[in-house]
Structure 1
Amino acid sequence: MNVPRPPKVAGIDSTVPAPPHTTAPLPGVPPSASPADAALPPGILIQDRLASWVSDLTTLHELTERLIKTSSLDGALREVLGAGAALVGARRGMAVLEPADGLGPTSTIGLGLAHADLGTIETVPHGPGSHGRLLDGLPEAGPTAPGPSSAHPASGPSSARPAPGPSPTRPAPGPSSARPARVPEPIAIRDVRTEEGLDPRHREVAARLGYAASYALPLATEESGRLGAAVWFYDEPAEPDERRRHLIGLYGRFATEHLARLLQVERARVRVATVAEELLPSRLPRVPGVRLAVRHLTGPQGGGDWYDALPLPEGALGLAVGSVSGTGPSALAAMGRLRASLRAYAVMEGEDPVAVLSDLELLLRLTEPARSATALFAYAEPAQRRIVLAGAGHAPPLVVGDRRTEFVETSLSAPLGMLTCWEAPSVELSPAPGETVLLYTDGLLRRTGDATDRTFARLHAAAASVPEADRSDPGAVADHVLRTLLPEGLDPAVEGEDVVLLAARFE
């Protein structure tokens, strides 16, 4: 009598015939058969293997879910270090971000290691060091030969040396397009004291920091190239077994792809911030009777907030802040055109801020009818401590002094581009000696996340609470207001408007 056998599941137990619909085992999956398993009934063996696989998949799912929630490179590296330490069974580790293209950014993050410890590890020469060899091993991105990833390095004392045959870090002879560089394999050092070929400095650093073994994983894929490397340290001689190496290999490939996406976002943010800064004044002018300071914080996509300060004839000074609708390169381009136009109008008729903004309204309506903007222009005569200003849909300035902290009463006006003809009366004020006038964009108010009334109240309270010792420095006044309203700073991962704060202290 034939006993029915359980069906084959994903290649487990090759002695059990597979039904026609079952696929071949996935490449890189650790072999399931062993002498000990052969003595177990097939059903028990299948249950154990399935339970182990479900547990591993659940662990990887949880770790990758946590990783994709990170929105910064440093946060992602810290998550990779923590998850990797759990997967390989280590307590400490270090991750190095060093893209192969040399365009940066670069950083080093430690787990269970102080800043001085990271500096000590960096004194190990790259050649003999594990993570250093990985950083030097993959110059650029490129396809590699098909097959499982390097998740199964040789174990034992020789695991720190490449396997026999062609070097995994250099292409074989022939055209580079046919045999491109491959992703280097992880490097396991089971015992630093007995490992052959290690630099004496490596052993000295290991003894000083108290680790006896390490496992280094390249943060690299064929598509992304080399982004960096992660290394975990063991307190005793050890190395991860085949299952742990397989899991950390899968996780490492996913982590590298996530880091590559964050790297693109960070580089784009830096480029946008650089363009925005180039479109704004490189330095503030020096005009007798007034001291200036500005703070400009840029979001990830770059907004259209801008500022300007330009000297005018007879010792006068033109101050302006504004915001263009939209974000990204188009908003930056529109901001540059608007600011350049306002400078020209300010030189021609700066004594009349209403005329300056009226000309700007006409230009915007004729050249970019689908875009709106807010602006505030102030014509200042520091010697007389006199300011004449006009605003188009912009928040009112704030005067900060020893005896008063109050908003300037400006007329209510629509933004530029919203009316067929813009005109609003100007306002004149006379700051007292030692008072600071704060001009700011709407981004400062909206970044707080509060309602408009509450935001204005918070801004007034922040300006009123400036310490007396800081009121003589317009930069210190601006910094205090920003710290009070945005205690965590401007999160670069959160889309939103830029923040501009221009401070003018009259002597």
Structure 2
Amino acid sequence: MGVCDAIRHNAPVGKPTAMSAPHLPKVAGIDPMVPVSTHTAAPTEGIPSAPGAFIQDRLAGWVSDLTTLHELTERLAGTSTLDSALHELLVAGAALVGAARGLLVLEPADGRGPSRTIGLGLSHAELGHIETVPRSATAYGRFLDGLPDTGAPLASPDILGDPGLDPGCREVAARLGYAASYTQPLATGAAEASGATGATGATGPDATARTTGRLGAAVWLYDEPAEPLERQCHLVGVYARYAAEHLARLLELERARADAAAVAEELLPSRLPRIPGVRLAARRRAGPGTGGDWYDALPLPDNALGLAIGSVGGSGPAALAAMGRLRAGLRAYAVMEGEDPVAVLSDLELLLRMTEPSAAATALYAYCEPDRRTIVLAGAGHTPPLVTGERRTEFVETTLSAPLGMLSCWEAPSVEFTPRPGETVLFYTDGLLRRTGDTRDRAFARLHAAAAGVPKVLRQDPGAVADHVLRTVLPADGTDRSGATEDVAVLAARFD
């Protein structure tokens, strides 16, 4: 049963019209049209029909409502991000109350954010017009500000004809072409009003509406003067209570991800060093799991430069802690043994086995001499760098090696190559390939094509080269085609 059919109003069966004198049922050998007696009973008025049809109609309506709520809550439960849940809530509520347009304002009462305003059938400019109305003049604004007696839904069935509304509300309504609205608060822990609540939001004398967890409010707009039926108000109220709990869970999850991303950013270099003969740029795209992808660049004696990039397996706080320890250890080893990348990674392997015995990580370290344009590098299970310029785009051949933490003793020979003037060397983590959703070979081919297709005007800037590669390689929504997301780190070095 579709949503449109499910939310159709089931009007109760009315009282039957007056019935004539009762007739006998048709029985074999007896003609029921022939009266049994010459004295017929007088016509009876007001005798109700059998209650079966009315009960069946009511039961059908309840089943329809339950089916509708089940479908909508299942779709909402399938959303895994805050933005998708907000959009689903707005669309489902519009179907329940019979509106075509609306807006939803997310503004948690604790002030920790995030705060968002999304629209349904409204452009950004139209949302801006609505936001010009003073908050105190709108039902959702008064609720979000925590004013008393604002926890119940409120209908404005005739905005243009209601002299009690703020003139700004009528002006914006006339400009955008809507004539009525219905506002539904979104809050966790909200109590049902103990008094009867009608479509206009009036409550009984002992009604209460505790909104200890105000999250936001949804407003649906009607093109003509109208208000939802009491049954529709009840359905959208039940749905909104479930939606608020789901939003609260997604809100906490997004806050945790934001906190982890902030910690990860603090563990990375705040700025890249400036070394004559080379220009650096770095980009990082954090996934929802906040993994352990990292990069580093540090100046070394004799105008040398150490470049590193790596990834720690797993996600969450443990991966962030391991990332921080590995990066700090590599910086120390690079200062002591910077000219020998193999020694640096061997020391890093020992550190990983001592501090993270159950973890695995990939890493690549390069010792660069910009004045000579030479790079000596070694990798531990990491993807090979990509050098790109006007005359060539190719992967640097590196020796095969296992990730750190996989073998009892790590060691692999280093390789040396010389970038040409004007070429950019791209170091990247494995997440860049995995986010494409392609096979390994196709992902490498896609990366190669993206680097080779960098416009000539952008090749002077390593940051522009990195941005072009990310835009070209990654899908537009930032996720791979399977729905999973991973961290991505890119370090670009352009040699003059």
Moved more, 473-482 or 430-439: 473-482
Q: Match for residue 284 of structure 1?
A: 272
Which digits, 9 at most, give the CA deviation of each residue in 1:275-309, with x for residues without a partner? 11110011111111111111111111211111001
Q: CA deviation at 1:93?
A: 0.7
Distance 1:489 1:469 in 2: 26
Structure-2 residue corresponding to 1:481: 469
- Structure 1 residues 110 and 474, CA gap change in structure 2 (3 angstroms): same
The change in CA–CA distance for 1:498 and 1:483 in structure 2 (over 3 A counts) is: same
CA contact (8 A) 1:97 1:105 kept: yes
The aligned counterpart of 1:210 is 177
Q: Supply the distance in 2 between the matched residues of 1:385 and 1:107 (Cα, whole angstroms).
A: 49
Instruction: State how far apart, in whole Å, the 2-side matches of 1:119 and 1:489 are.
Output: 25
Question: Which residue type is aligned with residue 52 of structure 2?
Answer: G
Aligned to 1:131, which of 140, 151, 155?
140
- Distance in 1 (CA, whole Å) between partners of 2:218 and 2:117 is 10
Report the CA distance shift for 1:189/1:36 in structure 2 as closer, same or farther (over 3 A): farther
1:400 paired with 2:388, answer yes
Residues 304-319 of structure 1 correspond to what in structure 2 (within 5 A)? Answer: 304-319=292-307
Amino acid at match of 1:498: D
Structure 1 residues 228 and 430: alpha-carbon distance in aligned structure 2, compared to 1, 3 A threshold? same
TM-score (norm 1): 0.82
- What letter matches 1:189 in structure 2? S
Instruction: Tell me the residue number matched to 1:26.
Output: none
Secondary structure of the corresponding residue to residue 302 of structure 2? helix
Instruction: Tell me which residue corresponds to 1:434.
Output: 422
Cα offsets for 1:484-507 (capped at 9, x unmatched): 221224339955431111110001
Is the Cα–Cα contact under 8 Å of residues 483 and 489 in structure 1 kept in the other structure? Answer: no
Aligned to 2:349: 361
C-alpha root-mean-square deviation of aligned residues, in Å?
2.2
- Which of 116, 120, 133 is residue 111 of structure 1 equivalent to? 120
**Residues 491, 409 of structure 1: alpha-carbon distance in 2 compared, 3 angstrom cutoff:** closer
The one of 288, 312, 316 aligned to 1:324: 312
The residue number in structure 1 matching 2:460 is 472
Q: How far is 1:450 from its partner?
A: 2.2
Task: Decide which moves more: 471-480 or 188-197.
Answer: 188-197
Asked if residue 201 in structure 1 is aligned to residue 162 in structure 2, the reply is no
1:443 to 423, 428, 431: 431
Residue 40 of structure 1 deviates from its aligned partner by 4.3
Contact 1:299/1:494, CA 8 A, preserved across alignment: no
> How do 1:85-484 and structure 2 match up within 5 A?
85-137=94-146, 167-169=148-150, 184-222=151-189, 225-484=213-472
Alpha-carbon distance in 1 for matches of 2:299, 2:161: 71
SS at match of 2:445: helix
Secondary structure of the corresponding residue to residue 314 of structure 1: coil
Deviation digits for residues 103-126 of structure 1, max 9, x if unmatched?
A: 111111111111111111111111
Report the CA distance between 1:36 and its aligned residue. Answer: 4.6
Q: Any conservation in 2 of the 1:438–1:502 contact (CA below 8 Å)?
A: yes
Tell me if the contact between 1:92 and 1:112 (Cα under 8 Å) persists in the aligned partners.
yes
Query: Which letter does structure 2 place at the counterpart of 1:479?
Result: D
Would you say the 8 A contact 2:10–2:61 is kept in 1? no
1:79 match: 88
**SS at the partner of 1:228?**
strand
1:506 corresponding residue in structure 2:
495
CA 1:33 to 1:398, structure 2 compared with 1: closer, same or farther past 3 Å? closer
Question: Aligned with 2:136: secondary structure?
Answer: coil
Post-superposition Cα deviations, 1:297-335, rounded to whole Å, max 9, x if no partner, equal 111121111100111111111100011111110010000
C-alpha change, 1:458 and 1:31, in structure 2 (3 Å) is: closer
Q: Distance in 1 between matches of 2:477 and 2:469?
A: 11
CA change 1:464–1:43 in 2 (3 A) is same
What stretches of structure 1 of length at least 5 have no aligned partner?
A: 1-29, 139-166, 170-183
CA deviation after TM superposition for structure 1 residue 193, in Å: 2.9
Whole-angstrom distance in 2 between the partners of 1:473 and 1:491 = 26
Secondary structure of 1:268's match? helix
User: Which residue in 2 is equivalent to 1:12?
Assistant: none
Q: Which amino acid letter does the alignment assign opposite residue 327 of structure 1?
A: S
More displaced stretch, 45-54 vs 469-478: 469-478
Superposed CA deviations along residues 211-242 of structure 1, whole A, max 9, x for unmatched, are 11111000112177111000111122111111
Per-residue CA deviation, residues 179-218 of structure 1 (Å, 9 max, x unaligned), is xxxxx00011111134353212112111211211111000
Distance 2:50 2:312 in 1: 73
Once the two structures are superposed, residues 24-77 of structure 1 have per-residue CA deviations (whole angstroms, 9 ceiling, x without a partner) of xxxxxx999897599442100111001111111222222222222222222222
How far 1:398 sits from its partner (Å)? Answer: 0.8
Aligned equivalents of 1:229, 1:393: Cα separation in 2: 50
- Kindly provide the amino acid, as one letter, of the partner of residue 505 in structure 1: R
More displaced 10-residue stretch of structure 1: 78-87 or 237-246: 78-87
Shift of 1:168: 3.5
> Which position in structure 1 is the counterpart of 2:52?
43
Q: Distance in 2 between matches of 1:111 and 1:367?
A: 52
Aligned to 2:38: none
1:59 has 2:48 as partner: no
Of stretches 359-368 and 244-253 in structure 1, the one that deviates more from structure 2 is 359-368
> 1:156 — aligned with what?
none
Query: Separation in 2 of the partners of 1:46 and 1:337?
Result: 70
Q: Distance in 2 between matches of 1:410 and 1:70?
A: 42
Q: SS where residue 206 of structure 1 aligns?
A: helix
User: What's the counterpart of residue 30 of structure 2?
Assistant: none
Amino acid at match of 2:291: G
SS of the aligned residue for 1:364 comes to: helix
CA distance in structure 2 between the partners assigned to 1:111 and 1:264 by the alignment? 25
SS across alignment from 1:384? coil
For 1:254 and 1:40, the matched residues in 2 are separated by 39
Which one-letter code corresponds to 1:312 in the other structure? L
CA distance, structure 2, for counterparts of residue 128 and residue 378 of structure 1: 62
Q: CA 1:324–1:39 in 2, change beyond 3 Å: closer, same or farther?
A: same
Q: Which amino acid aligns with 1:104?
A: G
The 3 A distance-change label for structure 1 pair 74 and 39 is farther
- Alignment TM-score, normalising by the size of structure 2: 0.84
Which structure has the larger Rg?
2
Deviation at 1:79, TM superposition (A): 1.6
Q: Is the 8 A contact 1:303 1:496 kept in 2?
A: no
